[in-house]
Structure 1
Amino acid sequence: MGFLTITSCGKKETAPADQTETTEPSGEGEQAPATAAAEENVLVLEGNDQMQFNVNELKAVAGKPIKLTLKHVGKIPKEAMGHNLVILQPGTDLSAFALKANDAKATDYIPESENAVIIAHTKLLGGGEEDTIEFTIDKKGNYPFICSFPGHVAMMKGVLIVE
């Protein structure tokens, strides 16, 4: 039963918490920390037809590759209800970014003028689609994420906490 608990925790958002607990007693459970460490920066986020992400907070470990999957679990095509995920530098003015994104239809609402504040982004998705991106953030901090499709930032935003 203990094995099932460790296995299921490694696949959930609680992996960073488990990693924190296992790093203190460094000699115990050599295999369990390796499993948690291998999966700790694997993140999944869902967007739906009600303009909502299923979570508004994600956690990752600084300096380790992050594999993030965005799934559009709705049915409406991207032309009417497109979703993406844009991870931004801390301190970015989300309203100003969203205004510039509104004018960037040709680049799927990713404004090229804002490349300096964009850490990573998925492609624009319609219902039933998904996209996976891989990136690394070396510096600890709180990184805002949004959907940059016009009008969505008001409801579709959150924070990636890098510890």
Structure 2
Amino acid sequence: MILRIALALLLSAAAPLAFAKTCSVTIESNDAMQFDKNEIKIDAACTKVELTLRHTGKMPATAMGHNWVLAKTSDFRPVAIAGGRASAADAYLPKDDARVIAHTGLIGGGESTTISFPTARLDKGGDYTFFCSFPGHWNVMKGKLVFG
């Protein structure tokens, strides 16, 4: 009986781990202020996203830096505008802004960066925009993230 109880407790503790799924995404940016994708689809079965941003250009971060920022579409523009008042050290994002779901640091040509974030803040079928918050980039460097 004790063995059955111990086994049941062990299985119930391991159950969340058995259902955890990390999904990997790679997106590229370049010196022409472009992402190579205008839409990213994340399966609803994913519990975590591992996103890699690559800058395929040659210009340094000070001149043509890029990052990847995710926010609800309704928050995208206000976050981007507020980011314009921030510094490069803050990846041109307002500090500790709850509207930012996830973001990378700023990178320059030839560099890459990877982040991981849980999908717990995403709603299936929600409306999300990803963008680069480098000043002047967010109007053209943006796309849609689809979760579900």
TM-score (norm 1): 0.71
Q: 2:106 aligns with which of 118, 124, 127?
A: 124
Deviations 1:41-91, CA, capped at 9 Å, x for gaps: 210000000000001100112352111100000000000000000001242
| CA apart distance, 1:161 | 0.4
Structure number with bigger Rg: 2
The SS at the match of 1:99 is: helix
Secondary structure of 1:92's match? Answer: helix
What is the deviation of 1:38? 6.2
- Residue 109 of structure 1 aligns with which residue? 92
Separation in 1, partners of 2:143, 2:137: 12
Q: Give the Å deviation of 1:110.
A: 1.4
Partner of 1:77: 60
1:150 corresponds in structure 2 to 135
SS at structure 2 position matched to 1:42 = strand
Runs of 4+ in 1 over 6 A off after TM superposition: none
Amino acid across the alignment from 1:55:
K
Whole-Å Cα distance in 1 between the matches of residues 147 and 132 of structure 2?
A: 19
Count of aligned pairs: 124
CA shift, 1:142, in A, is: 2.7
- Going from structure 1 to structure 2, the CA distance change for 1:65 and 1:149 (only over 3 Å counts) comes to same
- The unaligned stretches of length 5 or more in structure 1 are 1-36
Contact 2:79–2:100 (CA under 8 A) maintained in structure 1:
no
Per chain length, whose mean CA-contact separation is higher, i.e. which structure has more relative contact order (CA < 8 Å, sep 6+)? 2
Change (3 A) 1:42 1:85: same
Q: Give RMSD over aligned pairs.
A: 1.8
Question: Where do residues 88-99 of structure 1 align in structure 2 (5 Å cutoff)?
Answer: 88-94=71-77, 96-99=78-81
Contact kept, 8 Å, 2:68 with 2:103, in 1: the verdict is yes
- The TM-score with structure 2 as length reference comes to 0.77
Counterpart secondary structure, 2:98: helix
CA distance in 1, matches of 2:74, 2:84: 20
Contact 2:40/2:144 (8 A) holds in 1? yes
